[in-house]
Every structure is written in C-alpha cells, then in structure tokens.
Amino acid sequence: SSSLSSKYSKTSQPHVDHRVLATAQKLFTPSPYAPGSPLFLPNGTHVINKLISFLRAQYRQYGFREVLTPNIYKKSLWEVSGHWQNYKDDMYEVRGRGATGETEGEIGEDESYGLKPMNCPGHCLLFKSQNHSYKELPVRYADFSPLHRNEVSGSLSGLTRVRRFHQDDGHIFCRPHQIGKEIASALSFVDMVMNTFGLGQYRLVLSTRPEKDFIGSIELWDSAEAQLRDALNDGRRTWELNAGDGAFYGPKIDIQLQDSDGKYHQLSTIQLDLNLPRRFGLEYHVAEGEPDYNPDTPGKATPVLIHRAIFGSLERFLALLIEHYAGRWPFWLSPRQGIILSVQQDEAVLRRVQEALVQFSGFHPVDGDSGDIQPLSSSETTFLIDVDTSNQSLGKKLQRAKQLKYNLIFVLGSRNLVDGTIEVDVTGQMQSGGDNTLGKFSQVVESHLGMGF
C-alpha cells in the first residue's frame, strides 16, 4: 500500500501521503515516459545521497566493501542463477545490435541481456574472480545499483510501488560456522538503523527449513538454524518462529515494523542461501584441520551466501521517512537546512546577507571565471542555506520559510549590521542522528556570530 508508513508517524498531525509532501518539497516528479520510475529533483536526490552516505559510513564499521556492478548481463548468466527460468516475467529483456536474442546456447554476441532485478549474480561473479583463503572470509559486498522489476502497471504508486529502485543491498560470503556472528552483526545493524531514524517497535520472524524439496544437507540446515536462533536469543528484540516457511535454499529472518494499530509490516530480510554458491561453483581454500575442511573436496569448500538489506528499497524507505517525519526533516537529512531573510533590501543589508550565506554554507560560490579556484575539500562539511531577499514583507517571507519547513530561519536587518548579530528561529527538528553536522553547524554559527543556537 502506498501509505504503509503512515501509521508510524509519531506526530499528532493528520497523516499526509508521501506523494503530496514530495510535491510540496520538490522531492521527485513522475513521468509518463518512465512509469514506475519517478525522476528525483535536487531535494529528493539530496536526501537519498544522505541516506547512502550514512550507510557507507556504517559499512566501514560492519566490514562491508562497496562494489559497482553491471546493469545488464547476458541471458546465460540468468540461466546460471536460475532467474531466467523462474523470474522471466518480472525481468526486462535488453536487445540491440549484436544482442538480437535470436540464438541460444553459449555466452555469445547474439544473446539478449536481462536488465538486473537483483545484484546477487553479479556479486557471485566478483567473488569468483578472486582467490579466497578461509582466513579472509567473510567477504562482504555492498551495492547501490539501480534495479528493475517489471511490476504490472496497475500497482505502481509514488515511491512504494515502483519498477526502478535502489537497495542497500549486501551479500556476505562466509564459512558455515561464521553464520551466527554475521547474523548477530546484521541484527545489531538493524537495531542501530531503527534507533537512528526513530522508527519504534519492530519484530523479527525466523522462517525455517520446509518439509520437502529443500537443497543442502540436513546437518547444514540444522547448524545454520541453530546459529540463527542463538543470534536471535542473544539480541534484545522479540522474535517469532514461522516453522517450515523458509525458502528451499535457506532459512531467513524477516524484519517487521509495527504500526500504531499494532499491525506488522515487512521492512527487509536477512536470507541464507545454500543454492547460488553451488550454481556458480564458488569456493574458497581451506586448510586441513579446519572445521569446514572436507576430505571429499580436499583444500576446497563452498561458502554460505547471506543476502541482507536493512532499508530494503531506498525509495520505499524514503517514502516511509517522508511520512514518518511529516516533511519535517531532521537537520542532518534536510534539503532545507536554513534560510536567511532580509528585513530591508538596501545594499548594506544585501551585502551582509551574501556574507552570512558564505559563512553559513561553508563555501564561496564561483561566478564566472574568478581567478584561481581551489577545489572545495570533499572531506569538509557544507550546508544547504538559501536566501530570500525579495521585496515581500518580512511577515510573508517568514510564513513562506515556515511552509517550506526550513530547519533554521535567520533574519537580518539594518539593526543587525550595527552589532553583527542575526536573529535565529529554530523551526525544524534539530536532532542530528546519523552524523554530527548539527554540532558542526552550531560551531560555524558560533564562530561567526559569537553565539550558538
């Protein structure tokens, strides 16, 4: 449903659909030329990029390394992975000169391509391209590639039912006895994300081996499930069992958010996979005496694959956040962090507005060829500050700035020129959450005005 996230909103305001808020805040716009794939305007792109930077920082802590993989792969890859057989209707086929789709068989020029609906096969190719010793496992890849799934058009809506989306996708290749620790890390990651975004109650659901038609040995399933249970028991969240409800290729843990009616909604999944590593013939080197040493395949063992996402679809997570914050972005995510309003429009005031803009935003805008430009350091924090020096009354400007939900409104008039002050009105959510930019901004204001806020 397109308003799935509505019930998570903690504000007492009436619920507003994310599509309505997105239009008011210029976050994204739909187009009939790209059904199910909204175009993100600068403000929406800013929030998505902030979510990605947040995740990238966490990936450092959690030992993931980001990779960048192709968007289209020849049909034969999807046959190896099994998607061509089982997922064909939901996949787009890509054709062109040299990829007419008219031949069958080998990896060849005339095979058509599949537009990728998921990253796992590409990550298997990456894993396979390198030699791996048991000492360097787990190997953890993360990927923000665009994904395409051919949803039927009747179900498309805003950011919650789309055909093109990005996941905070990750794949862990590990040794069988490492499953427990990886699951514990993943659960701790989930918990940290939920706390950071203030997303309240959630539960975990473990789905275990189906009665029949599963692949892999019962011993491996039993060991894996025992490690999943231990990790769940060691965690601090309630969990439930869905006995026999796992996929044929491995058990999984679903993460479900509770809404204000007590109902649970699927957010993301941690899925074990005993199938893809075998289909791709993945292996790592293992020394005799190690627990995963198998005399039948001396020196070689097959890794376990764990698919995991925390946000799931970034687009869907963004929709959830838009409604959760009711458009009032916390400072660190906000595309409208501050605005400077002029009380009068005389030259002295306008000059001071421009000066304050440079001080608060953290950079000098380049206008034409103004001599030797130094690169702006990408490790410095800058801020999104606008100005309103129009001829409207201050009352009108204040009203507009509040409607646009700026976090901070600065007011600058001729009487501020005398003592070098600025009036500051804190109108937005100022908690920082995922970074320390709020503290940095406070320091910036303090250093230029001799006062914090």
Chain residues in the site for Zn ion (CB under 5 A): 120, 307
Q: Quick check: 314 and 275 in contact, CB under 8 A?
A: no
Alpha-carbon dihedral sign for residues 335, 341, 346, 349:
negative
Catalytic residue flag (residue 149): yes
Q: Could you say whether residue 167 binds its own copies (CB under 8 A)?
A: no
Task: Report the partner that residue 376 touches, choosing among its own copies, Zn ion, none (CB closer than 5 to 8 A by kind).
Answer: its own copies
Catalytic residue flag (residue 263): no
Q: Could you say whether residue 403 binds its own copies (CB under 8 A)?
A: no
Closer residue to Zn ion (CB): 120 or 385 = 120
Catalytic residue flag (residue 448): no
Please identify which of the residues 17, 143, 169, 388 carries the catalytic annotation: 169
User: Residue 345: how many CA atoms within 13 Å on its side-chain side?
Assistant: 9
Q: Among 180, 182, 162, which Cα is nearest to 172's?
A: 182
User: Residue 96: how many CA atoms within 13 Å on its side-chain side?
Assistant: 6
CB atoms within 10 A of CB 44: 22
Catalytic residue flag (residue 252): yes
Stretch binding its own copies (CB under 8 A), from 294-302, 336-344, 360-368, 406-414: 360-368
- Which of 4, 120, 126, 204 binds its own copies (CB under 8 A)? It is 126
Stretch binding its own copies (CB under 8 A), from 43-51, 273-281, 298-306, 402-410: 43-51
Q: Could you say whether residue 196 binds its own copies (CB under 8 A)?
A: yes
Catalytic residue flag (residue 328): no
Catalytic residue flag (residue 169): yes
Task: Report the partner that residue 120 touches, choosing among Zn ion, its own copies, none (CB closer than 5 to 8 A by kind).
Answer: Zn ion
**What token pair was written down for 108?**
């060849």
Q: Could you say whether residue 12 binds its own copies (CB under 8 A)?
A: no
Query: What are the C-alpha distances in Å from 410 to residues 170, 182, 280?
Result: 42, 47, 58
Q: Could you say whether residue 165 binds its own copies (CB under 8 A)?
A: no
Write the binding mask 411 to 440 for its own copies: x where contact by CB under 8 A, - elsewhere.
----------------------xxxxx--x
How far is Cα 178 from Cα 228, in angstroms, rounded to an integer? 11
**What token pair was written down for 131?**
């030699």
Closer residue to Zn ion (CB): 120 or 179 = 120
Stretch binding its own copies (CB under 8 A), from 26-34, 168-176, 204-212, 342-350: 26-34
Task: Report the partner that residue 218 touches, choosing among Zn ion, its own copies, none (CB closer than 5 to 8 A by kind).
Answer: none
Task: Report the partner that residue 8 touches, choosing among Zn ion, its own copies, none (CB closer than 5 to 8 A by kind).
Answer: none
Q: Could you say whether residue 122 binds its own copies (CB under 8 A)?
A: yes
Stretch binding its own copies (CB under 8 A), from 272-280, 299-307, 380-388, 403-411: 380-388
Task: Report the partner that residue 395 touches, choosing among Zn ion, its own copies, none (CB closer than 5 to 8 A by kind).
Answer: none
Q: Could you say whether residue 381 binds its own copies (CB under 8 A)?
A: yes
Closer residue to its own copies (CB): 39 or 243 = 39
Alpha-carbon dihedral sign for residues 264, 267, 151, 35:
positive
Mind giving me the DSSP string for 122-174?
Answer: HHHHHHHTS--BGGGPPEEEEE--EEE----GGG-BTTTB-SEEEEEEEEEEE
Torsion angle, CA of 323/328/332/333, rounded to 10 degrees? 40
**Peptide bond preceding 330: is omega within 30 degrees of 0, i.e. cis?**
no
Closer residue to Zn ion (CB): 179 or 409 = 179
Catalytic residue flag (residue 351): no
Query: What are the C-alpha distances in Å from 296 to residues 108, 211, 224, 292, 293?
Result: 35, 28, 21, 11, 9
Q: Quick check: 294 and 220 in contact, CB under 8 A?
A: no
Residues acting as catalytic residues: 120, 149, 167, 169, 171, 252, 307
